[in-house]
Structure 1
Amino acid sequence: MFSGSIPALVTPFREGQVDEEAFRRFVDWQIENGSSALVPCGTTGESATLDNEEHHKLIGICVEQASGRVPVIAGCGSNDTRTALWHMEVAKDLGADAALMVAPYYNRPSQEGLLAHFSFLAESCDLPIVLYNVPGRTVTDLLPATVVELARRHPGKIVGIKDASGDLQRATQHRLGAGPDFCQLSGDDPLALAGYVLGQVGCISVTANVAPKLSAELHAAAATGDYERARKVHEKLFPLHKALFADASPSPTKYALAKLHNWLTADTRLPIAPCSEAARKAVDEALEIAGLG
């Protein structure tokens, strides 16, 4: 259903407000440079600091600007099941192709709680769901057995996963349990190439915000089994993968984008502060290595 290089889009801000013109331009630039789908209002989009009106507006803008050229996987997750359902219903009405649903954070639900949460959402709205497991942020870990059970209970509704657990063996566990048609996407740019060997088919990416053309090239090569070419691009991008997390994300990513494009700012919303001098230096060096500086 989804594959290739899929940026988790930053949300452009200017003087504290969402910069709609820059966001529309950013969507176009991403598509023109080979991104195969788009994720508005994910972690990199600072969804935690968007109010509901902004959240829904950004999904609508992304769908409208993409205009069917690539799918839109709208960030809809919440630690409140009712709010998550509301986001899904709005995203469906706005024309999104799927919902990216992060495991509920802060509450620390059990695996039974996760089964109940995602089952309720799948049964209450027919927008396809891509699960999102990122225990480093949520504390809650969506275990492989739970992922497999959800895929079995809700075929055609829970269609895939963005796995940012850092545990590559899960790709095999998911594939053996949920089958080869269950869409597995990496959530870790440094591990995305390795994931192809195990059955992943793409990455919901931070780095693709900054280097969409190179990221698309990497994934196109990996998808056709040209691992030598993919590895060369991976090694070119690897310093950037690391530098974009040299400070609290997405601050380094926004710094990089502001350096590359005069129509974007490095503005973030508190509690995310501007990235440190050390992080800026790491980004500058990584952009040079990638041929983007």
Structure 2
Amino acid sequence: MRFGLVWAEAFSGLRRNASMVISVVLVTFVSLTFVGAAILMQMQIGTMRAFWQDRAQVQIYMCATESTERTCTSGAATEEQIQQVHDKLDSPALRPLIKEVRYQTSEEAYQELVDILGEDEASFLTPEQVNATFWVRLVDPSESDAIVEAFSGSEGIEEVKDQLQLLDPLFSALTVATYIAVGIAALMLIAAVLLIATTIRLSAFARRREISIMRLVGASNRFIQTPFILEGVFAALIGAVLASAAVLAGVRFGVEGYLRSRVSFVTTWVGLADAAIVVPILLGIGCVLAALSAGFAIRRWLRA
């Protein structure tokens, strides 16, 4: 196969269909940018979930003097009730699940509240009105239900709270956003595939006389198809490169330059190393889809 002639034919087709090629580039760029954003969002969700799972704890709030739960009818938790919680956490049934237990007295919890709010804001409370709390860190945070079930409804315990469950709405919202990005990307990719196929068919129609002559002189279908496939791949590759640049720029300036310094409660963000993993995926998707759609379009033309 004469590669020089094949490349010359491909670039000739690109020049003849410049407006359609620009359309393919733009649609591919937008669609693959959404694909890259969806992949990075899923990476971010996984990173955040792993970070918080390792640090999430189960909080066992003991009854305080102002507690109104039915398990707190006797007022603040007694020393005996607190010791029962200690013993239960250290029992053979629960101990294997637990990595660490920290007990915070009412006085310690009150002082922590003063440090956070200031003395003026915390002055309306007394140490007796603040819950003594057990902070339980698990070996496997997904087994927190065992701790919640073991202590919920027990006398002297006002509430058992799983911190990881508080983060579930955030993870769910981010997951929904990822699905939306994937849906938009899928629609845009379908549009890109159809546009590439249309571009190749128009290019083949414009060169129908040349194709007929090549078939008459014995040119193989592969020789005829290759320039058209290269046209689609080249246009899609430009779009994929632009999408890769947009993803890298978004991570560099949007995440590392803006969000990392302004959203302090999230300490683990995707970075350029993660974006670098996404780039070859985008290039591969763009080239493969373009080659398949262009090959299918010109193959149908040659059969006609």
Q: Structure 1 or 2: larger helix share? A: 2
Q: What TM-score results when the alignment is normalised by the length of structure 1?
A: 0.20
Greater Cα radius of gyration, structure 1 or 2: 2
The structure with higher relative contact order (CA 8 Å, sep 6+) is 2
